[in-house]
Amino acid sequence: MVFFCGAGVSMAHAKLASFSALAEKVINDLGATEDSKAKKLFQKFTELNKEPHTRGVMSADHIFSSLIRSFDRSDINCSVARSLLPTGVPALTAHKTILQLARSQGGHTRLVTTNFDLLFEACNKKLKSVTRSNLPHVQFSDNDWGIVHLHGKVKPDYSAPDRDGFVLSSSEFGDAYLAQGWARNFVKDVLGKFVAVFIGYSADDPPVRYLLEGLQQSNGANHNIFAFQSADDEAIAQWDEKGVTPIVYSLDQEGTHAPLWDTLASWGTRTKNPAVWKNKLLIKARRGPDKLLAYERGMVAHLIKSQSGARAFKQMNPPLPSDWLCVFDPTIRLQQVQDKAYLYPKDEIINPYQLYGLDSDPPPSDRNEEFSQKDKSEVWDAFVVNERDHEDLNNGHLPSIRSFRSSDPAKLPARLNYLAMWIAKVADQQITVWWAGRQSSLHPDLLRYVNNELRLNKEKIVPKSIFESWNAIIELSYFYGREKYQEYELKSRIDSFGWSSFYIREYSKLSAPFLKTGSFYRRSIPRYKRKQLNKYSLVRVDVEYPEGIYDITVPDEFISQILSTMRINLERAVEMEEEFSGCVQDICAIEPDESPRGINTSRGQNLSAYVLHFVSLFRRLSSIDIQEARNEFRRWRKDDPVFTRLRIWAAGIENLIDESEFTTEILSLNDEDFWPFKGERDLLLSLKSKWNGLSENNRKLIENRILKGPPK
């Protein structure tokens, strides 16, 4: 970054004149008469600048052009020099602040000014200063520019211009930026390597106007140029029109620019010793984000934007609290305040914006009707790859068309990798697991760091609920790459190319149930005071089913193979449901009830639909090859809540099992399965189907079991 300093810097504390006030001083010093063209022009200039809509129509360089027609150029230059001589001892606070910011880590000073005075040199006698004839070579990145007086400078005694004279009049500005273009070329070189920050200028100052016009007439490249500007809608708009980004600040109650200079002084303190500033900030951050003010959280966010800052954040020991995730993630810190949930009336109401918001954030949508999705996309997100991350990328961070990098995800940029390591360090804290459980996917490196931290760090005692929650998240990660509706693509390929052993394997793979991150009934941030905690408090996992396979027609010759793979997938589905939902018993009746009271919308959803698909395949197998159907039936698990229901239903199929096996199957059911929650219909229909073929003795055995009734 390079500062471009205008007259406002010298006006701030040293009370020197602006460019227009300098013109007035020179007119009076040279004794211009009231009817002189220069005097009349200045009066017109003053009138125009009183009104906002005419301000900038005429600039002070035209006044100097008029003076040159009436007075000797050397007399004008000497008058300018004398007019800039400070009275008494000037206050150099502003100049010292900017010099501190203009010094690189290597100790080199790089500062450009259009001021003629020597107040920067007065801050440090050792500073070198240059003018037009000895401008620094910008292409050499390690050189020391000193103070670059782009438009000339005064002699040490303020008696006249030093060496190259001053750039004052319209014609001199035209030569510098347009005709000869020596100043334009220098500025263009600076902007090619650095970000420019204008300070002490207004948008209609002659140096700014000529500089930007000169750049537009060169190669038309877009440059990074910023300008400090007090809150003034018209002035802000003028900067925008010139392609300069205004950095807006408010004046204090007295109408001075003190807030700007106080801010720059704080910036200078940070720049003087970044390591000390960084350490103090991180020590403060240890208290947690909810104990800091919004601007202090903003400082931590500023730190996290850089690789070195993220590394310092990660290296703090003990690690900084996991609450900082709520600051780093805009979806948390800008979410609306959650009302008390009906099921959890004692839960504390949390306002994320107050606890975790940054000073740069817009108010959240519940208090700001204009807060749109576009605004949300522009707020800071610690986990989004930024420009500096792109600069750090190398071949290891990029995918490849072959080799191991073609199938593995790209490495994280260094900054994000440090954040992943910090997340692993606080993996035993509730908010970390809660945050991870909200994500649609996580990088495998992060999960590996967490896995190693939880299992290899013997000093850390991890609560069982936290450990189980991470296991659920790691299991979820196995399904991150699963494309939605890919079974429909399989159907299209089978329709085009026909069945083969390859598509049987693909069917087996794509028909398997999978896990997906679920939604919480409440979204409030977990607090550490919560006493009862289990993995479902922090992570919600839903079991999903590939509904597209229900539309794939399986040829008769492949039914047996497909049914075997579906049995394995159904067993997996039961295990997943028992682990994550506990609703395995809630499947619908296998045989539909056509009566009005028997309508069941769940038949086409979730596990019920998955079971009915398996049933439809088994029905087809029993009609094609009853012996193969018997073999399949005997492979079904007996201690499984879903397969027990299937065994009860299938026992009623004609010729599948004999009377003795049917009776044994029914009588061997435990009380829970004999008096099931939703399985009465399937049991009664099986009994109805087989009843007339049972012996008197077997009927009595079953009747006695019914008459005994369910457990009291």
The two structure tokens encoding residue 680:
């009465």
Judge whether residue 220 has pLDDT over 60.
Answer: no
Q: Which residue has the higher pLDDT, 328 or 481?
A: 328
- Contact at 8 Å (CB) between 463 and 533? yes
Identify the residue whose tokens are 């003028």. Answer: 238
* CA dist 349 → 344, 352, 355, 365, 530 (Å): 11, 10, 12, 17, 13
Distance of alpha carbon 74 from alpha carbon 502, whole angstroms: 93
The strand pair at 2-5 and 110-113 is best described as: parallel
Nearest to 636 by CA among 586, 684, 574: 574
CB neighbour list of residue 159: distance below 8 Å, 6 or more residues apart: 78, 81, 82
Judge whether residue 193 has pLDDT over 50.
Answer: yes
Highest mean pLDDT among 48-57, 104-113, 147-156: 147-156
Judge whether residue 351 has pLDDT over 90.
Answer: no
Helix residue spans in 464-599 (DSSP H): 464-477, 486-497, 501-510, 535-538, 559-580
Instruction: Please report the pLDDT score of residue 342 as a whole number.
Output: 46
- Contact at 8 Å (CB) between 419 and 381? no
Bridge partners for 247 per DSSP: 228
DSSP secondary structure string for all residues of 152-209: -EE-TTSSSEETT----SHHHHHIIIIIS-HHHHHHHHHHHHS-EEEES--TT-HHHH
* CA dist 632 → 92, 614, 649 (Å): 92, 12, 14
- Contact at 8 Å (CB) between 208 and 201? yes
| Stretch 508-514: mean pLDDT | 94
Nearest to 231 by CA among 258, 251, 245: 251
Instruction: Please report the pLDDT score of residue 510 as a whole number.
Output: 94
Distance of alpha carbon 555 from alpha carbon 566, whole angstroms: 15
Instruction: Please report the pLDDT score of residue 344 as a whole number.
Output: 52
**Strands of the sheet with 225-230, listed across from one edge:** 129-130, 146-149, 110-113, 2-5, 196-199, 225-230, 245-249
Instruction: Please report the pLDDT score of residue 373 as a whole number.
Output: 47
Helices and strands in the chain, H and E counts: 35, 11
Instruction: Please report the pLDDT score of residue 49 as a whole number.
Output: 66
Bridge partners for 103 per DSSP: 109
The two structure tokens encoding residue 55:
């301000």
Q: What is the mean pLDDT of the chain?
A: 86
Distance of alpha carbon 331 from alpha carbon 376, whole angstroms: 8
DSSP 94: H
| Stretch 416-445: mean pLDDT | 93
Judge whether residue 366 has pLDDT over 70.
Answer: no
Judge whether residue 107 has pLDDT over 60.
Answer: yes
Instruction: Please report the pLDDT score of residue 387 as a whole number.
Output: 87
The two structure tokens encoding residue 322:
């996991």
| Stretch 352-367: mean pLDDT | 82
Query: What tens digit of pLDDT does each residue of 657-677 get?
Result: 999 999 999 999 988 889 887
Report residue 711's pLDDT band, with 50, 70 and 90 as the boundaries: confident
Helix residue spans in 365-443 (DSSP H): 373-378, 387-392, 414-425, 430-438
Distance of alpha carbon 8 from alpha carbon 301, whole angstroms: 31
Distance of alpha carbon 364 from alpha carbon 24, whole angstroms: 51
Query: What tens digit of pLDDT does each residue of 319-328 get?
Result: 999 999 999 9
Neighbours of 473 (CB within 10 A): 22
Q: Which residue has the higher pLDDT, 636 or 273?
A: 636
Query: What tens digit of pLDDT does each residue of 397-408 get?
Result: 777 787 776 777
Q: Write the secondary structure of 525-563 as one string of H (helix), E (strand) and C (coil).
A: CCCCCCCCCCHHHHCCEEEECCHHHHHCCCCHHHHHHHH
The two structure tokens encoding residue 2:
């390079």
Report residue 370's pLDDT band, with 50, 70 and 90 as the boundaries: very low
Nearest to 517 by CA among 449, 437, 455: 437
Report residue 491's pLDDT band, with 50, 70 and 90 as the boundaries: very high
Instruction: Please report the pLDDT score of residue 365 as a whole number.
Output: 61
Query: What tens digit of pLDDT does each residue of 443-476 get?
Result: 999 999 999 998 887 777 888 888 889 999 999 9
Q: Which residue has the higher pLDDT, 695 or 233?
A: 695
Identity of residue 483: E
| Stretch 48-53: mean pLDDT | 64
Judge whether residue 40 has pLDDT over 70.
Answer: yes
Q: 6: exposed, middle or buried (C-beta count within 10 Å: 0-12, 13-18, 19+)?
A: buried
Q: 99: exposed, middle or buried (C-beta count within 10 Å: 0-12, 13-18, 19+)?
A: buried
* CA dist 254 → 90, 190, 231, 263 (Å): 21, 36, 14, 17
Instruction: Please report the pLDDT score of residue 447 as a whole number.
Output: 95
| Stretch 136-162: mean pLDDT | 89
> Cis before residue 409, ω within 30 degrees of 0?
no
Identify the residue whose tokens are 């990145």. Answer: 141
Query: What tens digit of pLDDT does each residue of 514-524 get?
Result: 998 887 655 56
CB neighbour list of residue 405: distance below 8 Å, 6 or more residues apart: 396, 398, 399
Please state the φ and ψ torsions of residue 127, each to the nearest 5 degrees.
-65, 135
Nearest to 474 by CA among 452, 442, 429, 518: 442
DSSP three-state, residue 125:
coil
Instruction: Please report the pLDDT score of residue 343 as a whole number.
Output: 44
Report residue 199's pLDDT band, with 50, 70 and 90 as the boundaries: very high
Report residue 217's pLDDT band, with 50, 70 and 90 as the boundaries: low
| Stretch 274-285: mean pLDDT | 93
Distance of alpha carbon 244 from alpha carbon 237, whole angstroms: 10
pTM (two decimals) = 0.77
Instruction: Please report the pLDDT score of residue 151 as a whole number.
Output: 93
DSSP three-state, residue 436:
helix
Query: What tens digit of pLDDT does each residue of 566-609 get?
Result: 999 999 999 999 888 877 777 888 888 877 665 565 677 889 99
Instruction: Please report the pLDDT score of residue 51 as a whole number.
Output: 67
Neighbours of 2 (CB within 10 A): 18
